[in-house]
Chains A and B, each alone.
Chain A
Amino acid sequence: MLNVPPWIEPIVMAFWSTFFLVWGPGRRGVMRNLKVIKPGSLAVANLFRCYRVFWNYAWTIADNVRFKELRTIPDWEFTGREYFEEMQTRQGAILLTAHMGSYDLGAHLFSETSTRRIVMVRAPEADPQTRAFEENHGAESLRIEFNTRATALALDLLETIREGGIVAIQGDRVTGSISSLPATLFGKPTTVPAGPFALALAARVPIYPVFVVRLGRRRYRLMTSRPIEITRSRNRDDDFAHAVEKWMAELERVIDECWFQWFTFEPYWPEQAP
């Protein structure tokens, strides 16, 4: 990234995105997911769509590294700005997002423009060097937590929210042995992480669905949707089910619109697993 002239960067991206197609498990995972998102689609069309997913993925990684190394930010557009502002004025909130666009870049944008402290929860980074890079290149008000120690982390996050901070979590897929809730996406059963919903219930704060979508070269849109309030009743399972249903409706709408940026390289629906 620190050696590539920007005026030949599109060639470099196009070239290396092609190599992702050689990565069998990733290519098959994306194509299986596309089959569900676009029912009746042809395999050959999905191969080109798959290339587009990898092309977008390469650009978002490059934009993220460019920001961390050179502090170059992309252009930003906002939709649902009123909800975004509302989230920042509240005493604590949960920001629920998906593996789309550049969620890292979005989190950094919040931390640069917001007075609130942001804690971003991520799946554990396998490579220690990458993990150290992520931890050391964050903005001052942004803390990255890897979800490796569930109980202790839950208490830390609850404390962060009670202190008025914002906790950002990816809520589209379950990794490892974290607890999950049943859900339906594109008419097929799946599971989503239970953590954000349990945290919202415990901290009595709403969940704000936020998506960072790449519109083009160095151009992103930050989409904030109406908050999901979890109302307490006698039946906790029903409370969660209602909240999950609203979240899945938002997620489905955004994935349907921006399928080329949903960076899920494994078969998402359990029934699709080889």
Chain B
Amino acid sequence: MMLNVAIDRPDARWLPSRHHFAVARLIGYILLGRTRPAVDRPGHLILSIDRDQTAVEMHLTAFWVFATTACYVAALLPFALPLSIILAIPLAAVAIHLPIVLGGPILRALTGDGNHIKIVSVITMVLLLIASSYVATTRTWARFVAWLFFAILLLNGVAAVILWLLRGSVKAAEERCVR
């Protein structure tokens, strides 16, 4: 079995292919050329080339999604703000599970067993988008969180355009790293 890996190349940590979102891919591309290309002792590092590989990106995104959801839930609750925030934390965790636990079995029934990560991912992001669109138009404090959500989406869109324009040099940099 062939595994998609880079061996003894610490700079491969920054491969755009190891990042999921356009902003992270662009940062990866910038840092790729600035990292030491080889290890001191060969045979000591195997880096997997998978778009969901980087911990910082995934943890930051998870925190952002969780914080955004918790703010929306807190804004909807009819209690005082401190109590609403405390209650919103577990409720947000439950809400984030809904596309997985409800969508997963439905997708399984419709399309059979298999990898549904991509479609659940899209469903979750669309639900967040709908929720953000609603909250952004309200007069609650959470509208600023919704605006931030759209600002980050916009930033990611700009990064995607830049990456598309740089696609040739990104591909060349990746090939130099993993050849």
Binding site for B on A (CB under 8 A): 2-12, 14-15, 69-79, 81, 85, 112, 139, 216-219
Contact = CB atoms under 8 A, between A and B. Distances in A.
A71 B2 CA distance: 10
Given A7-B61, A8-B96, A2 B43 contact: no
Contacts of A216: 55
A75 B47 contact: yes
Contacts of A72: 48, 50, 52
A8 B65 CA distance: 8
Interface in B86-143: 93, 96-97, 100, 103-104, 107, 113-117, 120-121, 124
B1 A10 contact: no
A71 B62 contact: no
B127 to A, nearest CB: 11
Interface residues of B, number: 39
Given A9-B58, A15-B93, A15-B97, A2 B114 contact: yes
Nearest to A73: B48
Contacts, number: 98
Given A2-B117, A7-B61, A218-B53, A74 B100 contact: no
A11 B65 contact: yes
B15 to A, nearest CB: 12
A69 to B, nearest CB: 8
A217 B59 contact: yes
Q: Which of B62, B66, B93, B120 neighbours the largest number of chain A CB atoms within 10 Å of its CB?
A: B62
Contacts of B44: 77-79, 81
26 contacts: A3-B100, A3-B116, A4-B100, A4-B117, A5-B117, A5-B121, A7-B52, A8-B61, A8-B65, A9-B58, A10-B58, A10-B62, A11-B62, A11-B66, A15-B93, A71-B1, A71-B3, A75-B45, A75-B46, A75-B47, A76-B45, A76-B46, A112-B1, A139-B1, A218-B55, A219-B55
B116 to A, nearest CB: 5
Contacts of A11: 62, 65-66, 93, 96
Contact of B117 (A3, A73, A217): A3
A77 B62 CA distance: 26
A77 B48 CA distance: 11
A3 B100 CA distance: 6
Nearest to B100: A3
B104 to A, nearest CB: 4
A7 B20 contact: yes
A74 B48 CA distance: 6
